[in-house]
Amino acid sequence: MIISRCVFQCYSLDDKIRKELYMELKKGINFGGWLSQCSHTKERYDTFLGKDDVAVVAGWGFDHIRLPFDYNVIEDEQGNEKVSGYAYLDNMVEWCREYNLDLILDLHKAPGYDFNNAGNMEQNSLFTNDSLRKRFINLWQKISARYCKYENVAFELLNEVVEQEVASLWNSLIKDAVSVIRKNAPESIIIYGGVQWNSARTLKLLDKPAGKNIIYTFHFYEPLIFTHQKAKWVPNMIMDRDIQYPGTMKYYIELSKVLGYKGKDVTDTSDADMGDSLIRDMVREAKDAADSAGVQLYCGEFGVIDQAPPPDTLNWFRDVLSVFGSNDVGYAIWTYKEMDFGIRDSHYDSIRSELLKETSKN
């Protein structure tokens, strides 16, 4: 990769904050379901994705891939390295280099932490267990030592910390992880987000970074009642009707009440016309937090389930991409293939070309 292609200047709204980042990370896509949220078998690793898929992503005009991977791909339960698992990450690094793509290595599941165990502090004990904290730091020491020589690789510390009560402990773990990575990779991009599933509204709880080349990330699936409609894994989700987009906030507030805590970002919003107003307000809050910290803002996941009406899905993407564009927010769509959100799958056939055109506008 040619470094000069990747260097760009990041400016805050008042043009006083100026950072150099050696990656643009403007528009990307997730490779979900390959090395995370999957059956961890050699067959899965060998057949789900490959070099040809990297070529497709490059052909679509994306500039990077976000690669979720679980810790047990690269180490056993005693913390011993799995050479065969690292080979899959090595291959992806080289394939991305060949196609002039940047790559985010996203630790999706860590020893003692899994976003699927939301609220279960006995299972999600990473933040309160000293041995697990040390293992987390040691894992990032190994990863950063292995990939620090690649200018196209960024490190994302942990996907979707859920519990708000661990916000201060998360800040402490971030500081320790960044410190050990910087010993190996003083210039590499390091990415992390807030609590409550990387909510746009919790970036303000993060401590201001001490160094450079840090990016704040958030995930965006609002209104969840639309983007996750008929999702069997969401408690109390409405299953017997299509949810439309756009609509009024009154429409989304009423529907979102059944989701309880997961619908809170919508139900706590005043009644107004929908369109991009909720999206713009939430991204503005994230942008303000990033500007205050002097860092770039990035959306690591956003997308619409394959149960939603395709025309409404395209409407939602248009609004989100427009807001991201006007706020200088890079992004990675969730996701490339399957996982109920795959934009390569048949559900997206009728809108895929238009969706890709929208990504080229922003």
CA 332 → CA 58, 242, 299, distances in Å?
13, 26, 6
* 232, pLDDT greater than 80: yes
Q: How far is the C-alpha of 218 from the C-alpha of 346, rounded, in Å? A: 28
- Which helix (H) or strand (E) element contains residue 65? strand 64-70
Question: pTM above the 0.75 mark?
Answer: yes
For 276, phi then psi, to 5°, come to -100, 10
163 is catalytic: no
> Which CATH number applies to 3-229+276-361: 3.40.50.150, 3.30.70.100, 3.30.470.10, 3.20.20.80?
3.20.20.80
Distance CA 11, CA 99 (A): 28
Query: Can you tell me which residue has the tokens 């506008």?
Result: 361
Position 171, amino acid: N
The three-class DSSP label of residue 182 is helix
* 125-177-146 Cα angle (round to 5): 115
What does pLDDT average to over the chain? 91
CB contact set of 252 (below 8 Å; sequence gap of 6+) = 223, 225, 226, 266, 274, 278
- Contact, 173 vs 127, CB < 8 A? yes
Sign of torsion, CA 342 218 264 253? Answer: negative
Query: Judging by DSSP bridges, how do beta strands 296-302 and 330-333 pair with one another?
Result: parallel
- Give the pLDDT confidence score for residue 273 in this predicted structure: 54
CA nearest to 36, candidates 76, 74, 82: 74
Q: Where are any strands of DSSP class E within 169-245?
A: 190-193, 214-220
Q: Which of 112-126, 255-269, 317-331, 334-348 has the lowest mean pLDDT?
A: 112-126
User: Is the pLDDT score of 117 beyond 80?
Assistant: no
Q: Which of 116, 40, 33, 29 is nearest to 71 (CA)?
A: 40
Q: pLDDT at residue 13 above 70?
A: no
Residues 282 and 201: beta-carbon distance below 8 Å: yes
Q: Which of 156, 160, 163, 222 is catalytic?
A: 160
d(CA 89, CA 87): 5
Q: Token match 């050696």: residue?
A: 22
**Number of H-type helices and E-type strands within the chain:** 14, 10
Give CA–CA dist 247/303, Å, rounded. 18
Give mean pLDDT, residues 102-121: 89
Query: Is 301 a known active-site residue?
Result: yes
Give the percent of the chain with pLDDT over 70: 92
Do residues 213 and 22 lie in contact, with contact meaning Cβ atoms separated by under 8 Å?
A: yes
The confidence band for 22, taking pLDDT boundaries of 50, 70 and 90, is low
Identify whether the C-beta of residue 199 lies closer than 8 Å to the C-beta of residue 265: yes
Helical axes 249-256 vs 277-293, angle rounded to 10°:
80
Residue 200 three-state SS: helix
Helix, strand or coil, per DSSP, at residue 45: helix
* pLDDT at position 303 over 50: yes
pLDDT in tens, 321-345: 999 999 999 999 999 999 999 999 9
- In angstroms, the CA 279 to CA 324 distance is 9
Residue among 66, 74, 215 at smallest CA distance from 143: 74
Contact 272, 193 (CB under 8 A): no
pLDDT at 4: 30
pLDDT score at 317: 98
pLDDT for 6: 36
- Asked if pLDDT for residue 17 goes beyond 50, the answer is no
pLDDT at residue 1, as a whole number: 35
What is the spatial distance between Cα 51 and Cα 333, in angstroms, rounded to a whole number? 19
Single out the catalytic residue among 75, 156, 163, 301.
301
What is the C-alpha to C-alpha distance for residues 273 and 111, in angstroms, rounded to an integer? 43
- DSSP H or E stretch at residue 183: helix 167-184
